[in-house]
Every structure is written in C-alpha cells, then in structure tokens.
Chain A
Amino acid sequence: MGKGWCLFFLFWPVAAVASCAMAPFVNWSFPYDNAQAASNLGIRIDGLFYLILVITAIVFIGTQAVLVYALWRSVNNREKRAMHIHGNHKLELIWSIIPGVILLFLSIYQMNIWADFRIKKYFPEAAVKAPLAEVTARQFEWRFRYPAIGKKLQQKPQSDDLYSVNELHVPFGKPVLIQLRSDDVQHSFFLPALRVKQDALPGLQIPVWFEANKPGIYDLVCAELCGWGHYKMKAHVIVESDGEYQKYLKNLTQKQFYDGLGKIASKDSSRESEAAEK
C-alpha cells in the first residue's frame, strides 16, 4: 500500500506541473491568447513574474520530489527503529541562508520596476505635464473627462471639457497619465492587458501612468468590490495611433457641442481663439 500512496502524492505535483506547462498553449496563461503585455512596463512585470515562476517551479519540484522520496524511504524502512536525530545545525543554516539570499535578491531586483511604476519621482515627465484624462469610477460605470483639444486638464471640470462613458481612447507609443478618482465607493482601475491596477479611493485623486505599445481594444474592469453590480463595470480602453486619437477627440467635440444647426465648428474655433487670447 505504501507504494500506492507514494504514487498518489507524486501524481498531483506532476499533474500540477504538467498543467502549468501546457497553460500557455491552451489559453490559460496571460489574457488575450497569452499575448505579451501591451506595454513595456508590463513586459518587465511579466519578466519578473517568469523569474519568480522559474524559481518557485524549481523549489516546488524539488520539495515535492524530496518529500515523496522521503516518504518512500520511511515507509520501506526495514530498520527496527527510526533514525534517532534531533536536528542538524549545519543543515538549518544552509536552508535558512540559501532561501534568504534568493528572497533578498528578489526583493531588491523588483524595486526598480515598482519605482518606475508607482513612485511619482520616476514618472515620465511628458505624461506628468499633460495628463490625458480624469477617470471617475462610480456605481457602476467609468466616466472619462478629457481636456478640450489643445488645453490642459484642470483640477476642476471646465465648460469645454469632453466627456465619455465606458470608453477611454488612448494614443499608443507615448506615456499617458490619468487622474483616478471615485464618486462614491471604492473601485479599482484594472487593465489586464497592460498589467495596470490602481484602486480609486473616494476623496483622493491618484495619478496612474501607462504606455501602451501597440494598438488594440482592451478590457477595463473593476477589481475592488463596489456593490451588487461590481461585475458589470464593463468598459474598454481603445489604444490607437495619435492621429486617430486626435480624430476621435474632434468627433467627440463635435458631438458634444453640436447645437442642432450645424454650427459646431464656429463655436469651437471661437473658443479656441478665446483661449489663445488668454
């Protein structure tokens, strides 16, 4: 019976490793058919993930194999009594120091990525100077406020701001910064394709930057429980070329300020000239 149980405890780690190995091929790994992250920072984060994956996989296979082997040995122990040993100082030192060093290496190794991602001092300057939009989460939708074309995003909403709901357009190839806030409860801005997640805290405005490196339509979901409709905060982030993005903004301006008589352009241009005078 001992053999059967050893095989039993061997079987499941093997199944686990096998399913992990086939994950990328059957679409169980990162989203969008295991696509690479759509941002350079995301690719670095994935790199860190794969590094940890390799280390943990080695440890997992090692410990499980030793465990099963130890089980095998003890079950088939023909000695009259078990080994009389209370411990081994040297072994304890070895298996404290080696994992300690690996863990310390991992913690130092990741600091740069985290600093680039979240610490304001390291944010790309271009993005900080001209935030793209303000993102407001509320039960249960995402609202976006862009500044008028050629203007900067102000803290307070302006009369010529552009608005959209559940659809954020972003140019690719340059870092963008959004100001994240919440109208009511806590939400979380989660862009799986770009490996970005940031909670929207009521009462605070949190800057989040990211840089998409390829065009596409990506899902934007809420990752912090925000009420019964948490699951249906469905939105998209549309990453497009700068030209298309400008075109989108123009369209949005036209739609928003259309007075029903086809006089959008004049209103728009007069506002622009006003702004220029100022």
Chain B
Amino acid sequence: MSVLNHPPTGLQPILKPQAHHAPGNFITKYIFSTDHKIIAVQFLFTTLLMMIVGGALALAVRWQLAFPWESMPIVGPWLFAAEGGQISPEFYTMLFTMHATVMIFLVIIPILAGTFGNFLIPLMIGADDMAFPKLNMLSYWFMWPAIACFGLSFAYAGGPAAGWTSYPILADLAQAAPGSGNAQTLWLFGVTFIGFSSMMGSINYMTTIINMRAPGMTFFRLPMTIWGLFITAILQAFALPVLTAGGFMQVADRLLGTCFFYPSGLVINNAAPTVGGGQALLWQHLFWFYSHPAVYIMLLPVMGMVSDMLSCMCRKPLFGYKPMVISMSAIASLGFIVWGHHMYTSGMNPAVGMAFMVATMMIALPSAVKTFNWTATIWGGKLEFNTVTLNCIAFLSMFIVGGLSGIFMAAVPVDVYFHDTYFIVAHFHYVLFGATLFGVFAAIQFWFPKMFGRMMNEKLGKTHFVLTFIGANGTFFPMHFLGMQGMPRRYADPYLHGYLEHLVPMNQFMTISAIIMGLAQILLFINIFYSMFWGPKAGRNPWNATTLEWAAPSPPGHGNFDFVPMIYHGPNEYAVENGDKDFLMQSEKECLPPDKKHETDTDETETSE
C-alpha cells in the first residue's frame, strides 16, 4: 500500500491559517457543524439508519406476499395483538407506501447527494468547503422535520394510504381512505421538508462546483463523480419546485378544499357528492415531472462514482470521458421530456403517449453508450477483485438488466400490459437496488478511508457482497415472471384471483431471498463500525487513485488541504507510460522517471513538516 509520501511536484504548502475559523466545542464540531465532511458523515449515518427502517418495511411486505394473513414472526403478535398478528390490508398499504417513501426520499437521494455530494465535491474540486456552509448544515437539519413528519404519519396518525405516488383522489380527499386523515397531510409536509433539504443542497453544489474549482480544474478535468453530482444538482433545482408546488396544492385540497385535483360529482364512501372542477390527471403530470428526473437523480451520481472507481480499480483511464459526460447530459435533458411514460394508461391523450414513447426509447441510447464505455474501461485493464470492484461490476451487471427491461416498458402497447404489475417493480428495483445501492456499497468501501482514515475489512465486505448479490437477484429477478403472469403490484392478497393462485411458491422463494439480503446488511454495519475504530490505518492514497481528494490527508482536516491544490491533468490518468508509478494525480505536474524512487516516509512525518 503506497502512500502519497511527498508533496506532489509544484505544490506549495499552506502557511497561513485557515480562511474560516476552526470549529470550537463538541456541539459546533459534530452536531451543528458547518464542515462539509462532518455533514456528509451525518448524512451517511442518518441514511443508513433509514435504510434499516425501509428494509424492515420491505421485509414486512414480502412476508405478507409469501404467507398472506399469517402471523408475522417476532413483531406480529406485538404490533397487531387484536388481529392475531396478521397484517391488515390497511397496514399493508401503509407498509409499501412507507417503504418507497423511506427508500427514495430518506435513503437513496440523501445518501447520494447528501453524503457523497457533500463529502466529495469540495475535496475533488480542491475547495476548502462548500460555498454556503450554513446552508449546507440547514440542508442536513431539514431532513429531521421530514423524518418526523413521515414517522408521525406512519405511527401516530394512521398511515398514508395512497402509495408513494400519492395519486388523487385517494390522497386528495380524506374520506377516500378512512384513517389517513392527518397522515396523508403529514406525509405531504414530509415530502416538502425533504424537498427543501434537497434544494438547499443542490444550490450549494452548483455554486460550489461552478465557482470554487481549484486553479487548473476546468470543466473537462472534473472527475465523472463531480459531473454526476453537478448534473443531478441541476436536475433537482429545475424539477423539485414542481413537486413542491404540487404538494402544496394537494395540501390545500385536503385542508382548504381548493379542488385542484378532484372533479364534481364523486360519491366517495357514501359521503355527499364532491363539488370540484379539478382534474386528477394534473397531479400525475406535476408529480412525474419531478419524479421521473428523480429517477436520474438517484442514478447519475452513482454512474459518476462508478466511472471513477472502475477506472481506478482497472488501473486504466476511463474509456471515452467526453462521451460519458455527453451521454450523462443527454440522459438528464431527455429525462425532462419522458415523464409521460408513467402515464400511458392514465387516460391522457394517446397521441401524446406516442411522443413520450419516442423520447423514452431514445433515452435508452445514452445509457447503452455508458454501459459500453464501462465495459471498454475494464477491457485491457489490470483488475483486482476487491470489494469495490465486485460492487462496481454488480452495478454494471444489474444495470444492464434494469436498462433492458426498461425497453419493454417504453414500448407503449407492451407497457399497457406491464403497467402496475410486478414487471415494473422488477425494473425499478434492478435500477435502484441493483445499480444504485451496489454503487453506493462500492462507494462506501472506496471512500471510507478518506472519511475515517481507516480501511474497511475486505473479508466482511466480500461476504456482504456475495450474500447481497444472490439475495437481490433471487428477490428481484422472479418479479419479472410475476409481471408476465399479470400480478398487479400493491395487492395485499393477489391469490384471491384465480389466475395468480399458483404464484405462492415463487413469492415464498423471493421472500426467503429477501430475508437473506436483509440479514446480509448486518455485515455492512458491523464492517462500518468495526473498521471505524479498529480498521488498519489508511494513508493519503490507499487506492493509488488520481483524483484530488486522495492528495489530502485521511481524514482531511478542517479546510481540507494542507497544500495549495493546482490541477494539471484530467481525472483518470492511469497506466502512465514511463513513470515511477502507473498513475498521475491530478495535482502532480509530471511523473518522476521510472528509475528514481521516493524515499518512504510516513504520513505523520509529512504532516509534522
């Protein structure tokens, strides 16, 4: 394990103290911190905690599908003593609603933008912190009101019952889903708070990336990670206001009777007919105008991070850097005009559906280009199978499935059959779990030494990977078959319908796989907490990577760099010919000739210089 032992050529150490004042006591340092690295770690632990919650909810859903109406083990008799431990259909609705809500809004979006965005942006572009450190702190602390709202709506107010898509009329009028009165309103407030949090983050990221790049860091020298986060921030900033507005309209409908989303004459639950003038379809347009770009918000940062990690692990420059950037931008811009593919069967004008279909088909193209480029990056590399590599390959392997099954869904006539069946559930789990979460596992393993100064355990990491990979495929691949059979999603008991009766054994297999996958996550937590304290110490650059964060100490101190960062190269200069080592850091002007070796001195002596 070689360490960056010397100040890279051409760098000057920082002599004067930090521009902004150093953190003071425990509270300003670890709790209300404005340091982007601490905030990133706060986001990391919060989202991992939420991942446990979301995973538990998923397991409860899986339990009901495999063993309908049977007492849930362990928690069943305690939660539903009155029903003999059974999950009621109302509770089942709450379960899948909250599973999606937690996983999307409290795990994936914040772990990507919040954790890795926060941690990596200043370090990779050579800034000492974010442009707006206080805003950054607020963006973390706005997560908690959201968590409180979601938690209250679930535990106290009776549960939101309209799915994470919150379609009116079910979500719009309290009488449509008895018991969801305050819960749905609280849920909407939760979404609004998490929206504030994301928005503050995205403004900060954009400003930081545009204004605070180190000298020499041109846009086309930005690491792919930064490109992913940058484009994501732009997507957030443009799409999120629409969801927030829609959310407020729905809250107004619920509390003030403004009737944006419900028409006249509906007789719901024997209540008096509604007097309205609105249209339920409007919500779907507003919602998907945000939530389709949100799919890319949940994917692009991972694509960027995997590009960097894969290139480092293969010891080979990223194949097609510019095509990668262009295809990422293409995905983002096309991502704004494909929201209608969620609505092929919604009753919107079918001709419009056709236009959305063409755009959706075309968005498969940049994704394909990216896949080919990643494969070409591996080709001719010098690879070592460590946990990071394995998770990256899993990302690629499963993203291919998710991407290809998307083509079925893009084809309108075929989608009509697959819409709201388990086929779509399989598709987005392959993308969001298969691609995003495996990418996140890789990223945790990869940047952990920079975050905490210690390496993660390889054996635990590999075991976690194998179990998760098998569990994930065992859970999600059969979902395609359920979809083929026409099993609709969000059914508490699909076996009520004759044509689905024979699917019980398959669902039981999937549930067992899901339990394996869930249990495997315990290893991840053990690994994280064990390695934080007892892992082997990492030097500055344990992976021999090229990007700027690896030139900083591990973990970087307040203000990040102990030298003035200057950028001389693109981000992935591996396999350098005629050098003393096979990589050239972005901050190094040139490699030393191969015969000259550096004296090895430790990190400590260097910092004491």
State the A residues within 8 Å of B (CB).
1-2, 5, 8-9, 12-13, 15-16, 19-20, 23, 27-32, 44-45, 48-49, 52-53, 55-56, 59-60, 63-64, 66-67, 70-71, 73-75, 77, 79-88, 91-92, 95-96, 99-100, 103-104, 106-107, 110-111, 113-115, 117-119, 138-139, 182-186, 188, 190, 192, 195-204, 206, 219, 221-232, 234
B81 within 8 A of A: no
Residue in chain B with minimal CB distance to A78? B382
Q: Residues of B contacting A84 with CB < 8 Å? A: 316-317, 574-577
Give the docked Cα–Cα distance between A19 and B476 (Å): 13
> A66, B420: Cβ atoms under 8 Å?
no
Q: Residues of A contacting B478 with CB < 8 Å? A: 19
Known: A67-B375, A74-B381, A223-B421. A103 touches B345 (CB 8 A): no
Minimum C-beta distance from B169 to chain A (A): 4
Q: Residues of B contacting A63 with CB < 8 Å? A: 371, 375, 400
Q: Which of B420-442 contact A (CB under 8 A)?
A: 420-421
Residue in chain A with minimal CB distance to B398? A12
B603 within 8 A of A: no
Known: A82-B315, A186-B169. A118 touches B266 (CB 8 A): no
Q: Residues of B contacting A53 with CB < 8 Å? A: 408
Q: Residues of A contacting B404 with CB < 8 Å? A: 56, 59-60
B32 within 8 A of A: no
B263 within 8 A of A: yes
Q: 8 interchain pairs (CB within 8 A)?
A: A28-B485, A56-B408, A59-B400, A67-B396, A75-B384, A81-B315, A200-B347, A203-B276
> B411, A106: Cβ atoms under 8 Å?
yes
Pick from B14-22, B205-213, B489-497, B558-566 the stretch touching chain A. Answer: B489-497
Give the docked Cα–Cα distance between A196 and B168 (Å): 23
Q: Residues of B contacting A119 with CB < 8 Å? A: 350-351
B525 within 8 A of A: no
8 extra interface residue pairs, beta carbon distance < 8 Å, beyond A16-B401, A87-B322, A195-B416: A23-B484, A30-B484, A66-B375, A103-B365, A184-B266, A198-B347, A227-B161, A228-B88
> A99, B365: Cβ atoms under 8 Å?
yes
Pick from B143-151, B246-254, B352-360 the stretch touching chain A. Answer: B352-360
Identify the 10 closest CB pairs spanning chains A and B, nearest first. Answer: A203-B263, A192-B486, A83-B380, A118-B350, A74-B383, A87-B320, A231-B491, A82-B316, A28-B481, A74-B381
Minimum C-beta distance from B94 to chain A (A): 9
Minimum C-beta distance from B171 to chain A (A): 9
Known: A103-B362, A184-B266. A92 touches B347 (CB 8 A): no
Q: Residues of A contacting B466 with CB < 8 Å? A: 8
Partner of A206, one of B176, B280, B347, B405: B347
Pick from B118-126, B285-293, B498-506 the stretch touching chain A. Answer: B498-506
Residue in chain B with minimal CB distance to A92? B323
B142 within 8 A of A: no
Known: A63-B375, A75-B385, A87-B321. A81 touches B575 (CB 8 A): yes
Known: A77-B381, A197-B417. A185 touches B268 (CB 8 A): yes
B237 within 8 A of A: no
> A99, B421: Cβ atoms under 8 Å?
no
B132 within 8 A of A: no
Instruction: Encode contact with A along B358-380: 1 for CB under 8 Å, 0 otherwise.
Output: 10011011001101110110111
Give the docked Cα–Cα distance between A20 and B383 (Å): 31
> B385, A5: Cβ atoms under 8 Å?
yes
> B347, A114: Cβ atoms under 8 Å?
no
B38 within 8 A of A: no
Give the docked Cα–Cα distance between A28 and B167 (Å): 31
Minimum C-beta distance from B586 to chain A (A): 15
B139 within 8 A of A: no
Q: Residues of A contacting B405 with CB < 8 Å? A: 56
> B361, A48: Cβ atoms under 8 Å?
no
Known: A199-B347, A219-B497. A81 touches B382 (CB 8 A): yes
Give the docked Cα–Cα distance between A197 and B353 (Å): 14
The interface centre, meaning the residue of A44, A79, A83, A225 with most chain B CB atoms within 10 A of its CB, is A225
Q: Residues of A contacting B493 with CB < 8 Å? A: 231-232
Partner of A117, one of B384, B413, B499: B413
> A79, B490: Cβ atoms under 8 Å?
no
B393 within 8 A of A: yes
Residue in chain B with minimal CB distance to A183? B267
> A48, B407: Cβ atoms under 8 Å?
no
Give the docked Cα–Cα distance between A56 and B480 (Å): 14
> B89, A203: Cβ atoms under 8 Å?
no
Q: Residues of A contacting B401 with CB < 8 Å? A: 16, 60
Q: Residues of A contacting B407 with CB < 8 Å? A: 52, 55-56, 103, 106
Minimum C-beta distance from A146 to chain B (A): 21
Q: How many residues of B contact A (CB 8 A)?
A: 111
Minimum C-beta distance from A171 to chain B (A): 22
> B502, A27: Cβ atoms under 8 Å?
yes
> B488, A70: Cβ atoms under 8 Å?
no
Minimum C-beta distance from B484 to chain A (A): 5
B519 within 8 A of A: no
B397 within 8 A of A: yes
Give the docked Cα–Cα distance between A115 and B375 (Å): 38
> A226, B170: Cβ atoms under 8 Å?
yes
Known: A52-B411, A185-B176, A224-B167. A67 touches B393 (CB 8 A): yes
Partner of A202, one of B263, B269, B321, B494: B263
Residue in chain B with minimal CB distance to A110? B411
The interface centre, meaning the residue of B279, B385, B498 with most chain A CB atoms within 10 A of its CB, is B385
B163 within 8 A of A: yes
Give the docked Cα–Cα distance between A221 and B478 (Å): 21
> B269, A139: Cβ atoms under 8 Å?
yes
B79 within 8 A of A: no
> A107, B416: Cβ atoms under 8 Å?
no
Residue in chain A with minimal CB distance to B163? A225
Minimum C-beta distance from A128 to chain B (A): 15
Q: Which of B202-226 contact A (CB under 8 A)?
A: none
Partner of B169, one of A9, A32, A197, A202: A202
Minimum C-beta distance from A58 to chain B (A): 10
Known: A27-B502, A203-B266. A74 touches B321 (CB 8 A): no
> A106, B575: Cβ atoms under 8 Å?
no
Residue in chain A with minimal CB distance to B394? A9
Minimum C-beta distance from B373 to chain A (A): 8
Q: Which of B103-146 contact A (CB under 8 A)?
A: none
B319 within 8 A of A: yes
Give the docked Cα–Cα distance between A143 and B89 (Å): 23
Residue in chain A with minimal CB distance to B322? A87
Known: A95-B369, A114-B413, A201-B347. A49 touches B89 (CB 8 A): no
Q: Residues of B contacting A56 with CB < 8 Å? A: 404-405, 407-408
Q: Residues of A contacting B420 with CB < 8 Å? A: 188, 190, 197, 223-224
Residue in chain A with minimal CB distance to B379? A70
> B354, A49: Cβ atoms under 8 Å?
no
> B262, A202: Cβ atoms under 8 Å?
yes
Known: A30-B484, A74-B378, A77-B383. A223 touches B350 (CB 8 A): no
Partner of B382, one of A44, A82, A111: A82
B314 within 8 A of A: yes
Give the docked Cα–Cα distance between A55 and B323 (Å): 24
Give the docked Cα–Cα distance between A69 and B505 (Å): 35
Give the docked Cα–Cα distance between A206 and B364 (Å): 31
Partner of B346, one of A66, A184, A201: A201
Instruction: Encode contact with A along B263-280: 1 for CB under 8 Å, 0 otherwise.
Output: 111111100000010011
